[in-house]
Structure 1
Amino acid sequence: MRLKASLTLISASLLLTACGGGSAEPAAGGPVTLSFLVDKDKLTLDGAKALADAFMKTDSTVKVEVETRPGGTEGDNIVKTRLSTGDMSDVFWYNSGSLLQTLNPAQTMVDLTGDPVLANVHKDFLPVVSQGGKVYGVPAGAGMGGGILYNRKVYDTLGLKTPTTWAEFMANNEKVKAAGITPVITTFKDTWTSQLFVLGDFHNVQAQVPDFARDYTANKAKFAATPAALAGFEHLAEVHTKGYANKGFGSATAEEGLKMLVEGTGAHYPMLSAMLPPMLKDTPQVATDIGFFGVPGTDPARHGATVWEPPGIYIAKSTEKLEAAKKFLAFVASPAAAEAVGKVVQPAGPYRVEGAELPDDAIQVAKDLQAYIDKGATTPALEFLSPVKGPALEQITVAVGSGLTPPAEGAAQYDKDVAKQAKQLGLEGW
């Protein structure tokens, strides 16, 4: 199961929805009405409405009407059907990365390559809204990090420094354990959470094997045969072997894990930063007490973080209101749009628009991620660079992290799982 698909638990799973397609331009003198399709998730919808309202204050010639669709597979199918039949809304909000490729953007979306609407888009974001060298979208909202959430008060009490290597991380865990605190919170009841040590380690894989994503997609590289990629599975096994996981980890839920982290009964939680903003209402201390660092690798000079990029906003090729649609996308890809959304949706990571700054009250994990961005020390998660992801990864990582399957065997199992999915996609080389 795709990690991104598992994120129905949080607002970060941003996809798309349904309602009427574009129509002809209005009568002379009236504003052009754009239909804007988004997922009905509350935070997604709040962000979309904030974008539309802020834009309309800057341009009285365009009216943006926000429409919604269901989430998950049902919403995915609606998007694909409406694009294929030419009945899509003028502009729409959808995933970036590999899931975008399934929509056949060259045939269904407006090519924005070289267009001024991209002037402010961060260059690192462009590949995840591109296919065949053509760019099709602008970033919607902020990204999120996949790595280690940690309790800053525990670190202060024990005099720990954030690690930049795996050896330093494990040394910190030993000190945490000696203090009677769970070193690494593990929540395998929600099986998707078991994947973070593997998927969040991709920055380190990319640093050591720059062509891994391309070769992996072409069936020329394997997790089990690539030491840098195998390391994520080895990390899972080592945490279990050293006894760093909490008691009852097999029946613990993500909600329970977050509670342990906030209360300081657990020091580290391999997790996505987007899990935190929804907690702010009931536990406002997460804004300052919880920090983030990328899964540490072997070289402190190349320490960085794996980032889950924000979704994109795209223009349907079937629109009859292209000029107005481009005006809207140009606004979406501006600091003013980021500021408008930030007032209603607390970002869990950095914006991907040049000049867009986190709000003053941004949570600590977002600031930590921004620091990685500022250093140029981030890499998109593998699922943004390759369509190949087997459905059984979370079951495999649970087994490895529970000590039931050796890491090398787990990686080999995943390579076989991936092969089935790649053949279903009809990828070359499989």
Structure 2
Amino acid sequence: MIKTRIAALAGASTLGLLLTAGAVQAQSGHLTFLVDNGPQSIAVAEALVEAYAQVNPDVSIDVEVRPGGGEGDNIVKTRLATGAMADVFLYNSGSLFQAINPQQNLMPLTGEDWQERVQDSFKRVVTAGEDVYGAPWAPAMGGGIFYNIPIYEELGLDIPRSWEAFMANNAAIKAAGKVAVIQTYADTWTSQLFVLADFYNVLAEVPDFAEKYTANEAKFATTPAALRGFEKLQEVAEAGYFNEDFGAATYADGVRMVATGEGAHYPMLTFAIGAIAETAPENLDDVGFFAQPGDSADSNGLTVWMPDSVYIAANSANPDAARAFVAFMVSPEGCEVRNQAVGATGPYMVDGCVPPTDIPPSVADMLPYFEAGGNNAPALEFLSPVKGPALEQITVEVGTLIRSAADGAALYDEDVRKQAQQLGLPGW
């Protein structure tokens, strides 16, 4: 039978846990599965393990949990470097995938039968050399702004299609004595959304920005359209639109606040729909979603994230069992397990996987951006391998007004330079 063990991986105890993880991998018929500590990640992982047990009672699977953000990145890299990675693990696709040396550390999944059903757009972001190394963990995501529908109805607000209209809504919300924009800097990774979700607007003005950025021919600080994301964060902070406890609030707090109406807007990726369904299901229909507006209402579209990916460690002691478990995750049955666990969060990247028919407003709001004639563009990390690891710390500084938008963008350009040199990219 399958067992689920939640092991928190953080702080000073990490090394001992690494050694323990390496030891248990040798057990016959046993797998370890490492996921981040997001509520929906844990809920889906446990549901998949339980469902898999019903048809594979001879395999046991322990679920391990790591932090998100930079701390989680370091744990993944350390475990890979020390040969103590879980058999199967959840991690980013795109630029951060390239940074974990996939050709050395991961098992190729190119020849798996299920790859024929995976959309090519996803395969591109988990490919290194000639091989595909990942399987999509979830539906595609949008980066934008969740909003509380009852607040919008109470104040008679329209969905903003320009940044000016968004700021006008914020002013009206603050005047009504409500929190206009929720920020959750206790989880530093959440501070990045105003910058990252603005990339559709960058491409609308500078279509070749990603290519020039990768070739060291364009910078955030010296490209006005790219600088705007940092400026927007500064503008909202200077206007006093944040919740008073934004420095101590967590991602879980942010999800709850926008769902219950403790705040009107929460900039976030749409995977948070799953967290709302898990932690505040009675408020799921109270949350809508819109793309982060640009400076012109004539150009309004969604920045899209490919889902995180599931990988198999190259040194897994049970490669056959690991491949079978991953195959289950991307089967229609596995997708239905996800639907049951966290509901609909967006369009799947696997043929045969469909969202449930009863979708919440936030998912319905997102789908038009993906339909024929819809406007969407990939996030920068899926068009360029360059992403500096310190962005979340820099955006916290800009959001707390410790650093100006211009200084933050310049500092991020320097952070990016170090990462590009580590990757050996030409021109850096």
TM-score by length of 2: 0.76
Name the SS for the 1:125 alignment partner.
Answer: helix
**Correspondence 1:296 to 2:301:** no
**Correspondence 1:287 to 2:288:** no
Q: 1:426 to 1:359 in 2, by over 3 A?
A: same
Aligned equivalents of 1:264, 1:415: Cα separation in 2: 37
Shift of 1:385: 4.3
Moved more, 415-424 or 277-286: 277-286
Output the amino acid matched with 1:200.
A
Correspondences of 1:338-357 after superposition (within 5 Å): 338-357=335-354
Shift of 1:148: 0.8
Contact kept in structure 2, 1:122 and 1:352, CA below 8 Å? yes
Output the amino acid matched with 2:233.
L
Contact kept in structure 2, 1:143 and 1:350, CA below 8 Å? yes
Aligned counterpart for 1:129 among listed residues 105, 116, 126: 126
Cα shift readout 1:113-137 (whole Å, capped 9, x = no counterpart): 4754222223332222112353222
Contact kept in structure 2, 1:129 and 1:135, CA below 8 Å? yes
Q: 1:266 to 1:318 in 2, by over 3 A?
A: closer
In the alignment, which residue of structure 1 is the partner of 2:224? Answer: 227
In the alignment, which residue of structure 1 is the partner of 2:13? Answer: none
Name the SS for the 1:310 alignment partner.
Answer: coil
Q: 1:36 to 1:227 in 2, by over 3 A?
A: same
In the alignment, which residue of structure 1 is the partner of 2:413? Answer: 415
Name the SS for the 1:344 alignment partner.
Answer: helix
In the alignment, which residue of structure 2 is the partner of 1:39? Answer: 35
Q: 1:429 to 1:64 in 2, by over 3 A?
A: farther
Shift of 1:102: 3.1
Shift of 1:402: 4.5
Contact kept in structure 1, 2:275 and 2:342, CA below 8 Å? no
Shift of 1:294: 1.6
Aligned equivalents of 2:310, 2:392: Cα separation in 1: 29
In the alignment, which residue of structure 2 is the partner of 1:77? Answer: 78
Q: 1:267 to 1:316 in 2, by over 3 A?
A: closer
Q: 1:276 to 1:244 in 2, by over 3 A?
A: farther
Aligned equivalents of 2:185, 2:318: Cα separation in 1: 48
Contact kept in structure 2, 1:18 and 1:78, CA below 8 Å? no
Output the amino acid matched with 2:75.
E
Contact kept in structure 2, 1:396 and 1:414, CA below 8 Å? yes
Cα shift readout 1:347-381 (whole Å, capped 9, x = no counterpart): 54443223422234544333433443335544443
In the alignment, which residue of structure 2 is the partner of 1:206? Answer: 203
Correspondences of 1:218-257 after superposition (within 5 Å): 218-241=215-238, 243=239, 245-246=241-242, 248=244, 251=247, 253-254=249-250, 257=254
Output the amino acid matched with 1:184.
V
Identity, % of aligned positions: 45
Q: 1:115 to 1:204 in 2, by over 3 A?
A: farther
User: What is the aligned residue count?
Assistant: 402
Gaps of 5+ in 1: 1-7, 9-15, 27-32
Name the SS for the 1:183 alignment partner.
Answer: coil
**Correspondence 1:106 to 2:103:** yes
Shift of 1:188: 4.8
Q: 1:70 to 1:228 in 2, by over 3 A?
A: same
Aligned equivalents of 2:105, 2:392: Cα separation in 1: 33
Q: 1:180 to 1:396 in 2, by over 3 A?
A: same
Q: 1:400 to 1:319 in 2, by over 3 A?
A: closer
**Correspondence 1:118 to 2:115:** yes
**Correspondence 1:66 to 2:61:** yes
Correspondences of 1:18-417 after superposition (within 5 Å): 18-19=21-22, 35=31, 37-39=33-35, 41=37, 44=41, 46-51=43-48, 54=51, 64-69=59-64, 71=66, 72=72, 73-82=74-83, 89=87, 91-113=88-110, 116-132=113-129, 134-188=131-185, 191-241=188-238, 243=239, 245-246=241-242, 248=244, 251=247, 253-254=249-250, 257-258=254-255, 260-275=257-272, 277-278=274-275, 280=277, 283-298=280-295, 300=297, 302-316=299-313, 328-360=325-357, 362-375=359-372, 377-403=375-401, 405-417=403-415
Shift of 1:284: 3.1
Output the amino acid matched with 1:297.
G
Q: 1:388 to 1:145 in 2, by over 3 A?
A: same
Gaps of 5+ in 2: 1-9, 11-17, 67-71
Q: 1:421 to 1:247 in 2, by over 3 A?
A: same
TM-score by length of 1: 0.76
Name the SS for the 1:124 alignment partner.
Answer: helix
Cα shift readout 1:32-51 (whole Å, capped 9, x = no counterpart): x5746333757545534543
In the alignment, which residue of structure 2 is the partner of 1:4? Answer: none
